[in-house]
Amino acid sequence: MNGQPFRNPSGGLIDRARPLSFTFNGRRHAGYAGDTLASALLANGVRLVARSFKYHRPRGIVGAGAEEPNALVQLREGAATEPDTRATQVELFDGLVAKSQNCWPSVGFDLGALAGLLASALPAGFYYKTFMWPASWWPTYEHHIRRIAGMGEAPRDRDPDRYDYRHAHCDVLVVGGGPAGLAAALAAGRTGARVILVDEGAALGGSLLGEQAVIDGRPALAWVEETVGALAAMPDVLLLRRATAFAYNDHDMLAIVERRFDHMASPPPFETRQRLWLVRAERVVLATGAIERPIVFAENDRPGVMLVSAARAYANRYAVRAGSRAVVFTNNDSAYGAALDLARAGIEVAAMVDVRPDGGEAARRARAAGIRVLAAHGVLAAHGGRSVEAVSVAPIDGTGRAAGRAERIDCDLVCLSGGWNPAIHLFSQSGGRARYEPAIAAFVPGTSVQAERSVGAARGSFALADALAEGLAAGATGAAEAGFGDGAVPPAPGIDRAVEAPMRPLWAVHGVGSKRAKRFVDFQNDVTAADIALAVREGYRSVEHVKRYTTLGMGTDQGKLGNIQGLAILSGLVGADIPAVGTTTFRPPYTPVAFGAIIGHATGADFDPVRRTPMYDWHVRRGAPFVNTGLWKRAQVFPRPGETVLETIGREARAVRTSVGFVDVSTLGKIDIQGGDAAELLDRLYINNWKKLAVGKARYGIMLREDGMVFDDGTTTRLAEDHFFMTTTTANAVRVMSMLEYVHQVHWPELEVHMTSVSEQWAGVAIAGPNARNVLSRLTSDIDVGNEALPYMGCAEGTVAGLPARVFRISFSGEMAYEVNVPSDYGAAIMDAIMAAGEPFDIIPYGTEALNVLRIEKGHFVVGPEADGRTTPDDLGLSGMVSKTKDFIGKRSLSRPALTDPERKQLVGLLTVDPGERIPRGAQIVEDPSHPLPCPMVGQVTSTCFSPNLGRSIALALVKRGRSRYGERLYAASPVAGRTVEVTVVHHVFIDPKGERLRV
């Protein structure tokens, strides 16, 4: 620990009663509550904090906020580490640990700086011109490039913190808690409107926190305190501190990240680290302030070169001297007030270098205060290595060229003000186009396209009086537009207005001397003025080309400091005005946002919601593992101790064929359809006929898409003349329901029919096997389950196990089967009852694996592998179902040439020629496996299993002209499995092709 040599003994907004200790690059330092990491480092005299991306040049702190391009650190350690963190926005906390990144072995002595020696061979875009020979070496080159690039280290472990997520609505959303934003919130809040005020800082006040302004004759901070107090007392005003509005989306939806506990070592127990707010606002006030810009000159990246506003904020807000002897370089008035603040803070201001011939009143006051003012001068170059030691200053002409002898001025701090850029990022994100304002040489918001207004410095009104007046007006008007108040603007507080001399645009000083001297435009990416010139020379003249070729503005600061300089330099090179050269559109986010914050709690197992059937717990109790089917969790198998999965599947599938088993089928989609035209609707949807289906009977149906491809299948039962109960596949339950609603509401609204999804109202269980009737008959007294009363494809309503139930005599397994539906709440009860009733028959529950084996044995196609969205009814051998007498969705497509092509793939079965072999999954079917590549394929295995009932491997496949190939030998080739198996083409129904078992 040391004594914070650059901290003044008094002043600032820090809490000297709360000293804090932190570690930077392994050294312990002291700071105070209220510090940022940057201010604390400066207080301790730490000026070299980072190395640049490309040349590994030593870098210091340039800004005091979101604009910081250099001072990126690796914050925290282990799983909580955060790379690329701006020291200027890290609130200091006790025990904070940070280190410099992208340097080895240390930030002071970085071997990466050797890149600087090669710099002359590494101009912008050098990588496009080399590393091409020999071609085979590129992966090696690239390997090393990747290691040298990157910046911080990503954590390797799961994030220890949690995040949450809120939606909110408000009448007026105010972004920015500086003078304009506070005024807007106050004016809007007084009307009773719901107001949300968002500011990225821990304290409200914005620029006032770093300056020494006066409002109503008192220190401005007194006005801030009073205003914040008034806002806090309003019940419908929400103040969000440490919150960045980072995205302005369509229809006035803003995304805001609130860093709730980043200012602590870790969040308190049960608290989330950050919270995402999605706010839909009736009106938005953008009071996002402005960002000061530097001026380009030779070696302008030396540590100690800083924005004037930053040095001023460090002095006023943190009582930190960013150096001992400063040269202030400006092209506008704002730096003069700052220079006086610096002097008051004990920094010797060696010179004010003003590019303007006459700094006006401000310059006169500075001179009066004893500061040397060099008018019509510029800084040509900075000198020094790991810290700036001096600058060369000379008279300059209007274009920024040296026009006289240079003078060397010793200094350890160079403060720059090249004017101010309104922070129009959110305005630009809202879809608005920026307009160039020559008076301030900056882009300002143009015409609004969404319900926002920019006020204060964000629209180029830099005077405090204007900021307050515009804020009040925007707040009152916005509230009125949202229905609150009459729009009357409250009176503005009194401000002394200084007479300002106009700024004079100057982007870069063109010195004399070494051409090798680097003049940085983008600090983080090491883009120099020469790089931009090279891009233009090579024909990359569009601003986007310059950006992409040189990487200007592509750093984590997104060019907040450098973009406009780059644009201006480009405009000079191509001889066009800045607005003609263009601006770049700002894209979200304003500042980088942690992924964790954007997703809230939707991570890990909560990535997507989970759907569980009513029998889920019942399955859990029986030790079933689950598989994902869409969002559903379905029981896979019901293993017995000592069984392998394959043994379990075999046992379950055999039990169904030999005695009885039961399976949870609750995931099937279920749609209740009622109305006089219900049968008509089904007729138009399904490929087969429905009007003559008798009440109490079920029918299997297939639906197509309008392009003729099989979409879904299922059984639908007529419960009454005007009442049907449709089932769909699990996968398509949602889509079929939407399709029904679509065809009814869009195509045929005249049909009198209503439909509703009842998927979750009914629990479904299928009892299948030769003993299914015996089991069911023990469970019901009011339903005759005999083959005559309830034949195959019959339906009955009554009670099962004392529960209200519908019983459908339908089968997926090919065995005699009953599907029992009971209200969802009875899902577990019906399982227990069936289990008990089936005990004499050794009934077993079975899972999705046995279900799949049984259906493959039976040759049932399913949506997915067989009906893959590219198969017609005829491909699946179902052309007999297709009605010739009516239209239905997709029918017209079936007669298109490609759909009647005799070469189409058709559903067949496959058996291995050697019964001991297994058909590889996902195999392709070839006629000649020794054919050189590319090897023609005639089909593919769609589903395969070991059939426990046939004792051999079987498969379903889609094969060209498959139905004409029965008996033909082909090969199931799986190069990825390294196996090719000879197979015989057979009919796709392996068990009970006549369907007798169903009907017994």
In the region spanning residues 400 to 439, those forming contacts with other proteins, defined by CB under 8 A, are 429, 431
User: Which position among 313, 593, 698, 702 is part of the footprint of other proteins (CB under 8 A)?
Assistant: 593
The answer to whether the peptide bond before residue 948 is cis (omega within 30 degrees of 0) is no
Instruction: Give Cα separations from 869 to 43, 713, 860, 866 (angstroms).
Output: 67, 13, 16, 9
Residue 781 touching other proteins (CB under 8 A)? no
Exposure of 438 by Cβ count < 10 A (0-12 exposed, 13-18 middle, 19+ buried)?
A: exposed
Residue 797 touching other proteins (CB under 8 A)? no
Q: Smallest distance from the beta carbon of 197 to other proteins, in angstroms?
A: 21
Q: Whose Cβ is closer to other proteins: residue 279's or residue 468's?
A: 279
Q: Whose Cβ is closer to other proteins: residue 774's or residue 924's?
A: 924
SS (H, E, C) 411-445: CCEEEEECCEEECCHHHHHCCCCEEEECCCCEEEE
Contact 872, 710 (CB under 8 A): yes
User: Which position among 346, 592, 798, 823 is part of the footprint of other proteins (CB under 8 A)?
Assistant: 592
Segment contacting other proteins by CB under 8 A, of 224-232, 549-557, 648-656, 796-804: 549-557
Residue 934 touching other proteins (CB under 8 A)? yes
* Single-letter amino acid code for the residue at 224: V
Q: Smallest distance from the beta carbon of 39 to other proteins, in angstroms?
A: 22
Instruction: Name the token pair of 51.
Output: 């190395």
Round to whole Å and give the CA distance between 960 and 847: 33
DSSP β-ladder status, 214-215 and 163-175: unpaired
The footprint of other proteins on residues 367-396 (CB under 8 A) is none
Q: Smallest distance from the beta carbon of 158 to other proteins, in angstroms?
A: 4
Q: Smallest distance from the beta carbon of 717 to other proteins, in angstroms?
A: 23
- Give me the torsion for CA of 467, 470, 472, 477, rounded to 10°: -160
What's CA 826's distance to the chain center, in Å?
Answer: 41
Round to whole Å and give the CA distance between 907 and 957: 6
Residue 941 touching other proteins (CB under 8 A)? yes
Q: Smallest distance from the beta carbon of 819 to other proteins, in angstroms?
A: 23
Instruction: Give Cα separations from 320 to 11, 24, 38, 258, 348 (angstroms).
Output: 9, 18, 10, 28, 13
Q: Smallest distance from the beta carbon of 506 to other proteins, in angstroms?
A: 24
Q: Smallest distance from the beta carbon of 822 to other proteins, in angstroms?
A: 26
Residue 26 touching other proteins (CB under 8 A)? no
Residue 864 touching other proteins (CB under 8 A)? yes
User: Which position among 974, 984, 987, 992 is part of the footprint of other proteins (CB under 8 A)?
Assistant: 974
The footprint of other proteins on residues 216-255 (CB under 8 A) is 247, 249-253, 255
Angle at Cα 146 formed by Cα 143 and Cα 147, nearest 5°? Answer: 90
User: Which position among 79, 439, 913, 950 is part of the footprint of other proteins (CB under 8 A)?
Assistant: 79
Contact 63, 310 (CB under 8 A): yes
Residue 752 touching other proteins (CB under 8 A)? no
Q: Smallest distance from the beta carbon of 458 to other proteins, in angstroms?
A: 20
The footprint of other proteins on residues 57-76 (CB under 8 A) is none
Segment contacting other proteins by CB under 8 A, of 63-71, 550-558, 662-670, 770-778: 550-558
Round to whole Å and give the CA distance between 996 and 768: 14
Residue 263 touching other proteins (CB under 8 A)? no
Residue 11 touching other proteins (CB under 8 A)? no
Site string for other proteins, 92-131 (x = CB under 8 A): ----------------------------xx-x--xxxxxx
Round to whole Å and give the CA distance between 26 and 98: 8
The footprint of other proteins on residues 439-478 (CB under 8 A) is 449-451
SS (H, E, C) 213-247: CEECCEEHHHHHHHHHHHHHCCCCEEEECCEEEEE
DSSP sequence for 703-723? EE-TTS-EEEEEEEEEEETTE
Residue 499 touching other proteins (CB under 8 A)? no
Round to whole Å and give the CA distance between 781 and 786: 12
Residue 151 touching other proteins (CB under 8 A)? yes
Q: Which of 435, 479, 475 has its CA nearest to residue 459? A: 435
DSSP β-ladder status, 817-823 and 952-960: unpaired
Residue 621 touching other proteins (CB under 8 A)? no
Residue 835 touching other proteins (CB under 8 A)? no
User: Which position among 83, 267, 395, 696 is part of the footprint of other proteins (CB under 8 A)?
Assistant: 83
The footprint of other proteins on residues 554-573 (CB under 8 A) is 554, 556, 558
Residue 90 touching other proteins (CB under 8 A)? no
What's CA 882's distance to the chain center, in Å?
Answer: 46
Q: How large is the C-alpha radius of gyration of the chain?
A: 38
Residue 132 touching other proteins (CB under 8 A)? yes
**929 Cβ contact partners less than 8 Å away, ≥ 6 residues apart:** 935, 971, 973, 980
Q: Smallest distance from the beta carbon of 880 to other proteins, in angstroms?
A: 20
Site string for other proteins, 501-540 (x = CB under 8 A): --------------xx-------------x---x--xxxx
Round to whole Å and give the CA distance between 979 and 929: 11
Contacts 24+ apart (CB under 8 A), 204-207: 204/177, 204/228, 204/239, 204/241, 205/177, 205/178, 205/179, 206/176, 206/177, 206/178, 206/179, 206/181, 206/182, 206/287, 206/289, 207/178, 207/179, 207/289, 207/309, 207/457
Dihedral sign from CA coordinates of 939, 944, 950, 952:
positive
Residue 9 touching other proteins (CB under 8 A)? no
Q: Smallest distance from the beta carbon of 556 to other proteins, in angstroms?
A: 5
Site string for other proteins, 282-321 (x = CB under 8 A): ----------------------------------------
User: Which position among 8, 106, 542, 824 is part of the footprint of other proteins (CB under 8 A)?
Assistant: 542
Contact 540, 570 (CB under 8 A): no
Number of residues that bind other proteins (CB under 8 A): 134
Residue 928 touching other proteins (CB under 8 A)? no
Q: Smallest distance from the beta carbon of 586 to other proteins, in angstroms?
A: 10
User: Which position among 15, 77, 94, 142 is part of the footprint of other proteins (CB under 8 A)?
Assistant: 142
Residue 924 touching other proteins (CB under 8 A)? yes
Round to whole Å and give the CA distance between 389 and 58: 14
The footprint of other proteins on residues 872-891 (CB under 8 A) is 887, 891
Residue 706 touching other proteins (CB under 8 A)? yes
User: Which position among 9, 641, 746, 951 is part of the footprint of other proteins (CB under 8 A)?
Assistant: 746
Q: Whose Cβ is closer to other proteins: residue 362's or residue 736's?
A: 736
Q: Whose Cβ is closer to other proteins: residue 304's or residue 432's?
A: 432
Q: Smallest distance from the beta carbon of 888 to other proteins, in angstroms?
A: 9
**993 Cβ contact partners less than 8 Å away, ≥ 6 residues apart:** 987
Residue 964 touching other proteins (CB under 8 A)? no
